[in-house]
């Protein structure tokens, strides 16, 4: 059975449940053909809008205790599932709160420096504590952090060092499913840490295998950002604040106008301001600091400024082709400029000249007069 359509929200939840139940049961370690046939029937039920049953699928992780007793191995299906859950949290660097870039070619290797034992095995060896290599003790970090900053230090020591440099350390730890206040890490209490984190990870598993009861609604903004830049999506760290110089940079405003015009001259799109190219949430605070108005709050000032900016570069004729939203991403407010395609060419007025941009290969590209004429002829 096939619908020829993308799965709707409920179907997607059921498909995800099928994936997680298969992974956490090591379902395809044997008798692959017969299991494939059974799962094809499950997919048919999902297409029909029904939730399949899984009486024949035995999960190897049915409690937090099972997680604690699972030895870490990069080749183990259950460990891979847990690593997927950890990666889904978009873990942040303890040192500077930047998003950790995870390369699958390294994650397939058990000795990868991206794998860090939160309680280093060398430290645990001194206390003769069991479960040192538990999957619950694994965190995903940058290779540099693992090799040069942490090494064999106790959590209480290296976290204290990071706290001085990263005021957002508690938030960074939460992206690793670790609560600095209640997980025993400040006290170097490994049994308490195992209990706390195994419960956190198991709760994430439960969300995935009981979608009709516990799954959170899909956040379309979050999903769009995670898919990355494309012909329909662009990220800008700021509207006018230069991250390198710490000053206002008018060229950044021009870049905003170019992107909006390119979307209008193409198929429309979404411009996120306050999100870096690597999907890190920057927020709008840097821009807010350049827009202090006594009679309005930061968001109103930002909205007024970007409206004036787009009216200046694109004119008010295209005012109805864009609108602003201010969602939150990674606990920081960002700006989403939703752009509709135009029914005729839109030019950017810059330094007395008309510029024409379109979206191609994931970026806003300029076209000369001849190229613009050909584009317009084909499009309008």
Domain boundary among 213, 243, 258: 213
- For residue 371, being part of any structural domain is answered with yes
Q: Is 157 helix (H, G, I), strand (E, B) or coil?
A: helix
Task: Give the H or E element holding residue 154.
Answer: none
Contact 250/319 with Cβ under 8 angstroms? no
- Which residues lie closer than 8 Å to 144 by C-beta, 6 or more apart? none
pTM of the model: 0.64
Residue 217 has pLDDT above 80, yes or no: no
Same domain for 40 and 67 = no
- In tens, the pLDDT along 86-142 reads 988 889 888 888 888 776 665 666 667 778 899 988 888 877 678 999 999 999 887
Same domain for 196 and 247 = no
- For residue 218, being part of any structural domain is answered with no
Cα 271 to Cα 50: distance, rounded to the nearest angstrom: 37
Same domain for 357 and 345 = yes
Q: List Cα–Cα distances, 306 to 110, 247, 268, 299, in angstroms.
A: 48, 17, 18, 11
Same domain for 267 and 150 = no
Task: List the CATH number of the domain containing 304.
Answer: 3.30.950.30
Contact 228/279 with Cβ under 8 angstroms? yes
Same domain for 92 and 50 = no
- For residue 241, being part of any structural domain is answered with yes
The total of structural domains in the chain comes to 3
Same domain for 192 and 51 = no
- In tens, the pLDDT along 308-342 reads 999 999 988 898 999 999 999 888 899 999 999 99
CA atoms within 13 A on the CB side of 365: 12
The dihedral over CA atoms of 361, 367, 371, 375, expressed in degrees to the nearest 10, equals: 60
Tokens of 20: 């997680």
Average pLDDT, integer, range 25-43: 86
Average pLDDT, integer, range 152-164: 87
Same domain for 230 and 90 = no
Domain of residue 189, residue span: 62-76+86-213
Cα–Cα nearest to 339, from 314, 372, 367: 314
Average model confidence (pLDDT) across the chain: 87
Same domain for 150 and 248 = no
Contact 346/261 with Cβ under 8 angstroms? yes
């Amino acid at each position: 059975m096939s619908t020829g359509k993308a799965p709707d929200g409920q179907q997607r939840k059921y498909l995800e449940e099928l994936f997680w139940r298969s992974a956490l049961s090591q379902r395809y370690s044997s008798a692959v053909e017969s299991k494939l046939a059974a799962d094809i029937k499950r997919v048919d039920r999902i297409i029909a809008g029904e939730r399949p049953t899984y009486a024949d699928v035995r999960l190897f992780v049915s409690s937090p205790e099972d997680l604690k007793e699972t030895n870490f191995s990069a080749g183990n299906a259950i460990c891979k599932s847990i690593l997927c859950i950890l990666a889904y949290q978009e873990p942040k660097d303890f040192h500077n709160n930047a998003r950790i870039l995870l390369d699958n070619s390294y994650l397939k290797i058990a000795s990868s420096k991206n794998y860090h034992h939160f309680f280093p095995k060398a430290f645990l060896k001194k206390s003769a504590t069991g479960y040192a290599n538990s999957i619950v003790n694994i965190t995903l970090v940058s290779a540099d952090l693992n090799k040069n900053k942490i090494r064999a230090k106790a959590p209480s020591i290296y976290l204290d060092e990071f706290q001085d440099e990263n005021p957002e350390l508690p938030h960074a730890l939460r992206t690793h499913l670790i609560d600095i206040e209640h997980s025993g890490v400040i006290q170097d209490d490994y049994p308490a840490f195992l209990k706390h984190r195994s419960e956190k990870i198991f709760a994430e598993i439960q969300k995935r295998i009981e979608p009709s009861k516990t799954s959170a609604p899909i956040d379309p903004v979050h999903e769009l950002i995670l898919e990355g830049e494309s012909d329909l999506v662009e990220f800008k760290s700021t509207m006018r604040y230069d991250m390198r110089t710490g000053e206002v940079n008018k060229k950044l405003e021009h870049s905003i106008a170019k992107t909006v015009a390119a979307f209008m001259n193409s198929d429309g799109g979404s411009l996120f301001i306050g999100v870096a190219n690597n999907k890190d949430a920057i927020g709008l605070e840097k821009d807010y600091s350049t827009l202090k108005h006594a009679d309005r709050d930061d968001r109103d000032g930002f909205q007024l400024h970007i409206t004036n900016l787009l009216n200046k570069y694109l004119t008010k004729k295209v005012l109805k082709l864009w609108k602003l939203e201010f969602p939150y991403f990674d606990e920081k407010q960002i700006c989403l400029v939703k752009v509709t395609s135009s029914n005729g060419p839109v030019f950017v007025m810059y330094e007395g000249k008309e510029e024409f941009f379109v979206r191609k290969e994931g970026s806003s590209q300029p076209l000369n007069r001849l190229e613009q004429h050909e584009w317009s002829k084909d499009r309008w």
